[in-house]
Amino acid sequence: MALKLRLARGGSKKRPHYSIVVADSRMPRDGRFIEKLGTYNPLLPKDSEDRVKMNMERVTHWIGQGAKPTDRVSRMLEAAGVLDKKQRNNPKKAEPGAKAKERAEERAAKAAEAEAPAEEAQAE
């Protein structure tokens, strides 16, 4: 059985509240879980103590049993000092899309055309 430490969503529309749970990876996000390990409330300020609450003793137990944390939960565990920080690298994240690149090329071409007659006028 592949175990995951992940978030299960609760709360109403536009008011999310998450439980940090241990679940079989084949179960749905908000479905059956084995144990609730803590809570995460994204609506609270980032410096609030109540934003993320976890039972660290049980978290380390389940990680020892082979449970793999999801990316979001692993970031919370890294902030708490339970896991080592991973090196993350996504060089394409800040790169503009194809249409934005086309628009930039068109603007550069128009600017080059506008500068060419101005340079000829100065040369004379």
How do residues 38-96 score in pLDDT, each as one tens digit?
Answer: 999 999 998 988 999 999 999 999 999 999 999 999 999 998 888 888 887 777 777 88
Question: 31 and 4 in contact (C-beta within 8 Å)?
Answer: no
**Domain extent at residue 14:** 3-80
Q: Please state, in angstroms and as integers, the Cα–Cα distance from residue 117 to each residue in 104, 106, 113, following that order.
A: 21, 18, 7
**Cα–Cα dist 23/29, whole Å:** 9
* pLDDT, averaged across the chain: 88
pLDDT of res. 119: 61
pLDDT of res. 122: 64
From the CB of residue 4, how many other CB atoms can be counted at a distance below 10 Å? 19
Pair (48, 70) in one structural domain: yes
Pair (45, 13) in one structural domain: yes
Question: 59 and 40 in contact (C-beta within 8 Å)?
Answer: no
Pair (112, 55) in one structural domain: no
Pair (50, 11) in one structural domain: yes
pTM above 0.85, yes or no: no
Pair (35, 73) in one structural domain: yes
**Is residue 66 in some structural domain?**
yes
Pair (65, 29) in one structural domain: yes
Q: Which of these ranges, 12-16, 78-82, 106-110, has the smallest mean pLDDT?
A: 78-82
